[in-house]
Amino acid sequence: MTLAESVNFGDVFRAHPSERIALNDLSRPSQPRDWTFGEFNGACDTLARGMLRQGLCRGDRVALLALNRGSYLAALFGAMRAGIVPVPVNVKFPVATLRDVLKDCGAKLAIADAENLAVASTVCPVIDIDNDLLALADPGPFVSVPVAADGIALHLYTSESTGRPKGVLLGHGGQIWNIRVLARARGLGSDAAMLVAAPRYHKNALVASKIALTAGGRMVKSGSCWINGLGMR
């Protein structure tokens, strides 16, 4: 694959065998659950279709304000499949900074946990990631939107450590190249398992998640809820 080709970073794990375990979900320690690449792909397609049905368009921003959940990753990759740009937001920012980030990125929709619903709702429409995400779902197969290699895949923000957070735009082609190179350099394959415990709005946790899925190994994650291909719980 060359950077000149049409690509979509949301598809980097689509070809893995559907029965292979993608996630060891420990978000509810008393109810651990394994789910497969088939289930995860179904969840991403479900939310991609749902976002488009909601009226979102290519290039629109969807902000993610939540701690680790399986539904967080499905929304992230599902948005990319639809040509929509996910914006992982650091929920530890002060309230005023959270509002500034949502306004700066022009979020058309926010998917938030209970702690962040109120602040997000002051800027844009919001969906409760734990209780209302099913309303966004539109189950069924989905063919990912072709995007240019330099098309925006992710809209991140810096940490506010040296001033106001600044937007960072990452392209589909660059992400595909970078994650595949990192997976090879670290010797990760389908037999690998990667623990991801840091919050996914942080670059390191997000990179680890993307590497694990791209390599086709298992991701062991913590958080507080999960999603499957037919519906959210």
Q: Has residue 221 got a pLDDT over 80?
A: no
Q: How confident is the model at residue 232 (pLDDT cuts 50, 70, 90)?
A: very low
For 127-159, the three-class secondary structure string (H helix, E strand, C coil) is EECCCCHHHHCCCCCCCCCCECCCCEEEEEECC
- In tens, the pLDDT along 176-212 reads 999 999 999 988 888 888 888 788 888 888 888 899 8
**Mean pLDDT, rounded, of the chain:** 88
Q: Has residue 122 got a pLDDT over 90?
A: yes
Please state which CATH class domain 37-221 belongs to.
alpha beta
Q: Which of 79 and 2 is assigned the larger pLDDT?
A: 79
Q: How confident is the model at residue 5 (pLDDT cuts 50, 70, 90)?
A: low
Q: Has residue 111 got a pLDDT over 50?
A: yes
C-alpha 145/C-alpha 131 separation (Å) is 28
Which pLDDT score is estimated for 69? 80
Which pLDDT score is estimated for 1? 43
The pLDDT of 94-107, averaged and rounded, is 97
Q: Which of 90 and 202 is assigned the larger pLDDT?
A: 90
Q: Has residue 28 got a pLDDT over 90?
A: no
43: helix, strand or coil? helix
- In tens, the pLDDT along 44-85 reads 999 999 999 999 999 999 999 998 888 899 999 999 999 999
Which pLDDT score is estimated for 37? 95
Which pLDDT score is estimated for 224? 39
Q: Which helix (H) or strand (E) holds 63?
A: strand 61-65
C-alpha 65/C-alpha 67 separation (Å) is 7
What backbone phi and psi angles, to 5 degrees, belong to 43? -65, -40
Pick from 41-45, 89-93, 162-166: least confident:
162-166
* Residue 109 CA neighbour count, 13 Å, CB half: 22
C-alpha 71/C-alpha 85 separation (Å) is 16
Which pLDDT score is estimated for 89? 97
The whole-model pTM stands at 0.90
Which pLDDT score is estimated for 201? 85
Which pLDDT score is estimated for 231? 33
Which pLDDT score is estimated for 6? 62
